[in-house]
Amino acid sequence: MFRKHIITPILSSASGRFANLRRLLESLCLRRTKALLNLPEPITDTQVLELSQQEQDAYLDFGASCKRAIDSAISGHSIKKANQHVIQALLGMRLFCNLGVTGFSRKWVTCPYETPETHSN
């Protein structure tokens, strides 16, 4: 459902492709100041994962392709495109981390300027 209504439109070249994402975020995000909420300070718990060589290679490869896309957008002086590439890269890395090498498909989140031949799955 998320892929159909959020990811697929974002990856298309149609105008207004972020409309569904904006609607979703507007319905979920409440704008409250930190003082108003009176929340405790966050607790950071860092977990270091040991990746297999295959996972490490796939992670670094995907990260490098997204970095190239972001660098290319920035060098073209398009902040809007650079922001889009950063969001796409974060989404891709998040999916990769959640699903691992065997469950992740790069066709779900392809960094711009890539061709299907630049990656294997």
Quick: pLDDT tens for 4-44.
Answer: 888 888 888 788 888 888 888 887 777 777 777 778 888 99
pLDDT value for 27: 78
pLDDT value for 45: 93
| 38-66 pLDDT, tens digit each | 788 889 999 888 888 988 898 888 888 87
The alpha carbon of 95 is separated from its chain's Cα centroid by a whole number of angstroms, namely: 8
Task: Give the angle subtended at the CA of 70 by the CAs of 22 and 100, to the nearest 5°.
Answer: 75
Among 104, 113, 112, 114, CA closest to 55:
104
The answer, as to whether pTM is greater than 0.95, is no
CB atoms within 10 A of CB 110: 20
pLDDT value for 43: 93
The span from the CA of 19 to the CA of 24, in Å, is: 9
Q: What is the largest CA-CA distance in the chain?
A: 51
| 73-92 pLDDT, tens digit each | 778 766 777 777 778 878 88
